[in-house]
Amino acid sequence: MFDEDKLNAFVGQVLGDLGGAYSAALVKIGDKLGLYRELQSGGPATSSELAERTGYSERYLREWLAHHAASNYLDYDPSTKRFRLPPEQAMVFADEDSPVYMMGGFENAFTTFENEPKVREAFRTGEGVAWGDQAPCMFCAVARFFRPGYLHNLVQSWLPALDGVVEKLELGAKVADIGCGHGHSTLLMAAAFPNSTFIGYDFHGGSIEAANEHRDEHGLNPGQLRFEQATAVDFKEGNFDLVTCFDALHDMGDPVGAAAHIVKQLKSDGTWMIVEPMAGDELSDNFNPVGRLFYAASTSICVPTALAQQTGLALGAQAGERKLTEVIKAGGFRTVRRAAETPFNIVLEARP
């Protein structure tokens, strides 16, 4: 016999989930059309006023605004019929430099729908879906999702948490950023430590092209910072003071092999910083909103990517510190410690 109260509570939960799923498309429209930025800069507006300010259809805007008010994404004043973007919501939707800017997360959600047919077939075959074969917009979405965390933590707290690394960077160190994607992490470090040299490596050619474009846009010297296409097991420069991996180790088909190669490319007193999604060691430790989000992304993106590569260990995005430490030490590192953490990330320091 089912419990009616439990059923009603669960139906309420699912309705909330469906509302969120349907909202993703409207959030993306608001971002692409600049509606959040317009409401932030221009202030509250009725649908007619927003149509006049933007040149968009009043009828579509009316429905979009109503949805956003029903979702608590906007405030609504019945007396004036105006909609307002509160400062807290603006930090999530409009301010790209906010520590809680979430637009990349919404964009990434879209990529899972685009990936769905390929991932569904992979469930049948057990094969992977290569990074380059996934949704074309995914690479930008992933970079956009992780950038706020790097912007507000990397230079300010993560690097200082490593033993002696900031001092080396200030004097002039040699750094490799493995799995650099569009290069946001590498760019932040290079801008903060102009005496050091940085090489960003990624196996996806399109991401390397985007990273080099970002470097040029920021006016950084190619002699100090460059991006090259290579995998974690075949980059060859060597003699690095610091190697970093940002939210990338769990996507690698052979993370043990990557660790074994990285330890050979480090100086004897060098450091490997591994930034991974926050996760507990036990499955039930991750039954929370962050774990739910990362398991979903892992099923659609991370595990298929790893299974498409040689070895295909497929750690998944919720591997946990214990498993990550096991992998890192299996590659030849002697010590691994948790250096820092945020609600979304764990930062490990590995030494040869």
pLDDT at 137 over 80: no
Could you tell me where in the chain the CATH 1.10.10.10 domains are found?
4-93
Given a cut of 80, whether residue 41 has pLDDT beyond it is yes
Per-residue pLDDT, 131: 86
What pLDDT score does 138 carry? 78
- pLDDT higher than threshold 90 for residue 314: yes
3-class SS letters over the chain: CCCHHHHHHHHHHHHHHHHHHHHHHHHHHHHHCCHHHHHHHHCCECHHHHHHHHCCCHHHHHHHHHHHHHCCCCEEECCCCEEECCHHHHHHHCCCCCCCCCHHHHHHHHHHHHHHHHHHHHHHHCCCCCHHHCCCCHHHHHHHHHHHHHHHHHHHHHHHHCCCHHHHHHHCCEEEEECCCCCHHHHHHHHHCCCCEEEEEECCHHHHHHHHHHHHHCCCCCCCEEEEECCCCCCCCCCEEEEEEECCHHHCCCHHHHHHHHHHHEEEEEEEEEEEECCCCCHHHHCCHHHHHHHHHHHHHHHHHHHCCCCCCCCCCCCCHHHHHHHHHHCCCCEEEEEEECCCEEEEEEEC
Q: Taking 90 as the threshold, does the pLDDT of residue 136 lie above it?
A: no
Q: Which fold has domain 4-93?
A: Arc Repressor Mutant, subunit A (1.10.10)
User: Tell me, what's the pLDDT at 247?
Assistant: 96
Residue 135 has pLDDT above 90, yes or no: no
Q: What is the pLDDT of residue 311?
A: 82
Average pLDDT over residues 315-338: 97
Give the predicted TM-score (pTM) of the model. Answer: 0.92
Mean pLDDT of 307-319: 91
Looking at the chain, the whole-number percentage of residues with pLDDT higher than 90 is: 89
Residue 17 has what pLDDT?
Answer: 95
Say if residue 6's pLDDT is above 80. yes
> What is the rounded average pLDDT for all residues in the chain?
95
- For residue range 83-131, what is the model confidence (pLDDT) as tens digits? 999 999 999 999 999 999 999 999 999 889 999 999 999 999 999 999 8
Looking at per-residue pLDDT, the higher value among 82 and 206 belongs to 82
Q: Residue 2: pLDDT band by 50, 70, 90 thresholds?
A: confident
pLDDT reported for residue 284:
96
- Kindly report, as residue ranges, where domains of CATH 3.40.50.150 are found in the chain: 103-351
Q: Using one digit for the tens of pLDDT, what is the confidence trace for 145-166? A: 999 999 999 999 999 999 999 9
Q: How many CA atoms lie within 13 A of 74 on its CB side?
A: 34
Q: In CATH, what is the architecture of 103-351?
A: 3-Layer(aba) Sandwich (3.40)
Q: Span 221-245, mean pLDDT?
A: 94
